[in-house]
Structure 1
């Protein structure tokens, strides 16, 4: 086996040098963080966002990182490359987010504060979702190139959806989950190799599934902060309540469906690791809207049904029919629940009564000339635009990543840590040889079971 032979090192060091230059030219502290204003009132920005930021940061590094460790021979790559991508995207998205924010502004420099770091983590989440679709089938060089392109495309979708269509999406059902999922799926489809579906190394083991559950639990715990992060006042409070209710209903329904869809009435850990989180995804776009507590429970229950049945029936079907290999099942956890969430937000926007929100300003009513029905329609229009951008740019990115210069993985290198990591001695090499020769070990559970 071979690895990138220094290409990843060269790419990362070159990128960091460019970041140093661009930060020096374009970035400065916001007045709330700068040395020229020590007013106590400026501290409220940090107090307001820092606890939420830390929660979201935990989701990126522990939640997403450990959720992907279900692959029995790719644990180092799952949590390690997740860490690398997070650190890379924080810097790159700070620049790109800032440049897009300067559009139409007279400001000459990007001014960053704690909210800027929170927005950078949202870009991180988008790329990590896409990473899940190509987990184990893309090299570190390919991942860095993909992340670099995707952050720009992500900002284009936000500009179109929020600035042009004036859509609302506090928790990112549309701009983070749906965009990240369908961008990653488009890349995965282009990178597809027949050998991916035949690899014995794609399955999980008992201990790897337990590690993945660590990620699930951290994501489940902190998802209310993710959905409520950009909000304030009653909107933030409502977003937390709605998200907790949606997640709770989703988890209960997922356990029920996972058992009933199995011939032996047994739970499938793939469903429990993933579909239990779909309620947070689906609640994102309408988390701060007045959907009522029963509405939050309904959204979470619907998300569980869509996600669980997607893992059980749709994902294997798509793999057989259109050769769409989705390692982590992001279509079921992020893609379809994200679309469901936007539809729910469109319904909530269409029936919204301005008087019900009179206690606080809401982005839903920033365009006074629009009726509630029009707001609902623009939610759907924005979703169509975002999906189009994601699929088109993801497909182009996939073809770019197939160029030999970016180190495409060979058949024996798929889902294999030993290609890029120093692995412990012991049974590792023997297991690798057995898997390569097609010897299936007892007790392993397919990720698509």
Structure 2
């Protein structure tokens, strides 16, 4: 244990410092304020547009949504993963670490594809901050699959590669394929989930099958996790609508997500009681599956899905997610050796696919009678007469396949990279425990040591 701690004393500071120095240099060379952020640029823009009002700066439209998304990233995702009885520090703390790195790296990676201007600079503003948080969300989804089984250095290395692959995947889906995915059912949730699942499969540890008790929760850890759930549930309408067009598109996306989440929650409670032979509720289902309606509304949220259509999608998402936690997760673990700590396949993977399918069907049935002049905002190529509704539907389906391909191939490559010994994977006996990486309060440290000693005796073979 002492040797491992010493190795982290060198590895973690070295990786953090080197990565941040690289980021600072790249920002200094490549990044500048966009015209709405730059002092001279914005005032010049106002004069050239007949004294355009300061209130029309994108900051006033987007910053409230950015703050909501930011809360989801740092509080929602962080606390959602605190259910592990002995890994609360790691859940919140490492979420904080990799999110802080990822949003900086994502600004650069997304900027190379979306924000690079004629002057060779990446121009950033509030919308680029939102998009960087979206990319960070995908990394945190993948983090849920490997939670408790990886070192902070491994997590940072995973983030380096995943953010890069995410940016390429996002560019291909939105700009090459031409799909619509404002809330990220495909680009964020499907990609992040299956990327994480493949990584955790590559990092499979058979010895952890003997430590299932450490992956459980206690009463207070489940309450902390519900804090994350409630924050995510409340702010998900902002997440899905944050980068949609101003006005009716943004309004409609928030409303569709709002009703989808409400319907999803009722489905989750119903299914959770139904699959328990005593009719009791499982807190794992409530913490996670109740959020699936937000995931499933990521693609079609800005489309004319109608409120009752959103409620149907939410109900289906809650049902699928709950059944996944009850029946599919044990199969993935036992048959496919996928150790999915947080069950991201049920919350992000399957609902993400559902959202992509709903988006494809809704796009394929879009008509000028339904959208009117709003067609230009939601489906600009259809409005221009360049493609038909069925062709847009095909684009949406192709985008799902692209997201899956990038996730699976990228996950395999990154999984094998993380197995390199220099990144310091934690020993099997100390996985899902804070004591290896964190200074604990004295009484907690003693409890950890005693529990480790007792488990070592209990797990020791009888013939040893």
TM over 0.5: yes
Distance in 2 separating the partners of 1:341 and 1:95: 28
Which protein has the bigger helix share? 2
Q: Per-residue deviation at 1:431? A: 4.1
- 1:221 — aligned with what? 234
1:131 counterpart (121, 143, 147): 143
After the TM superposition, which residues 17-416 of structure 1 pair with which residues of structure 2 at under 5 Å, given as runs?
A: 17-36=21-40, 37-38=42-43, 39=46, 41=53, 43=55, 44-102=57-115, 106-199=118-211, 200-231=213-244, 232-360=246-374, 361-367=376-382, 368-416=385-433
Q: Please tell me whether the aligned partners of residues 166 and 378 of structure 1 are also in contact (alpha carbons under 8 angstroms).
A: yes
Shift of 1:437: 3.8
Q: d(CA) in 2 for partners of 1:102 and 1:431?
A: 48
User: Where do 5+ consecutive residues of structure 1 fail to align?
Assistant: 442-449
Could you tell me how far apart the structure 2 residues matched to 1:123 and 1:353 are?
A: 32
**Whole-angstrom CA distance in 1 between matches of 2:445 and 2:226:** 23
- Contact in 2 for aligned 1:434/1:440 (Cα 8 Å): no
SS at match of 1:358: helix
Q: Which moved more, 1:323-332 or 1:363-372?
A: 363-372
Q: Work out the CA distance in 1 between the residues paired with 2:306 and 2:64.
A: 26
Contact preservation (8 Å) 2:302, 2:378: no
1:60-108 Cα offsets, whole Å, 9 max, x none, are 11100000000011000100011111111111111111111257x5341
The reply on whether 1:418 has 2:431 as its aligned counterpart is: no
The correspondence for 2:447, drawn from 419, 430, 437, is 430
Cα 1:436–1:298 change in 2 (3 A) is farther
Q: Is the 8 A contact 2:115 2:124 kept in 1?
A: no
**Does the 8 Å contact 1:169/1:175 carry over to 2?**
yes
Q: Deviations over 1:302-357 (max 9, x none)?
A: 00111000000000111000100000000000000000000001110111113322
- Relative distance call for 1:9 and 1:353 in structure 2 (3 A) is same
Q: Please identify the structure whose Cα radius of gyration is greater.
A: 2
- Return the alpha-carbon distance in structure 2 between the equivalents of residues 431 and 382 of structure 1: 47
How far is the alpha carbon of 1:292 from its aligned partner?
A: 1.0
Aligned length: 440
CA distance in structure 1 between the aligned counterparts of 2:449 and 2:268, rounded to whole angstroms:
34
Does the 8 Å contact 2:261/2:291 carry over to 1? yes
Q: 2:82 touches 2:221 (CA, 8 Å); kept in 1?
A: yes
> What are the Cα deviations for residues 121-149 of structure 1, in whole angstroms up to 9, with x where unaligned?
00110100000010000100000000010
Residues 85 and 215 in structure 2, CA contact (< 8 A), matched pair in contact too? yes
Q: How far does residue 371 in structure 1 lie from its aligned partner after superposition?
A: 1.2
For residues 171 and 126 of structure 2, the distance between their equivalents in structure 1, rounded to whole angstroms, comes to 21
| Kept in 2: contact 1:167–1:364 (CA 8 A) | no
Distance in 2, Cα, partners of 1:61 & 1:102: 25
TM-score, scaled to structure 2:
0.92
Please report how far the alpha carbon of residue 194 of structure 1 lies from its aligned counterpart in structure 2 after TM superposition: 1.1
Q: Aligned pair in 2 of structure 1 residues 70, 439: CA closer, same or farther (>3 Å)? A: farther
Q: 1:11 aligns with which of 9, 15, 32?
A: 15
More deviation, 123-132/190-199: 190-199
User: 1:359 and 1:436 mapped to 2: Cα distance?
Assistant: 69
Larger RCO, structures 1/2 (Cα 8 Å, 6+ apart): 1
Q: Secondary structure at the match of 2:432?
A: coil
> In structure 1, the residue corresponding to 2:123 is in which secondary structure?
strand
Per the TM alignment, residue 436 of structure 1 is displaced from its structure 2 partner at its CA by 5.6
What whole-Å deviation, never above 9, does each CA across 1:176-231 have from its counterpart, x for those lacking one?
A: 00000011111100011012232132111000000000000000000000000011
Normalised to the residue count of structure 1, the TM-score between the two structures is: 0.95
Q: Which moved more, 1:185-194 or 1:360-369?
A: 360-369
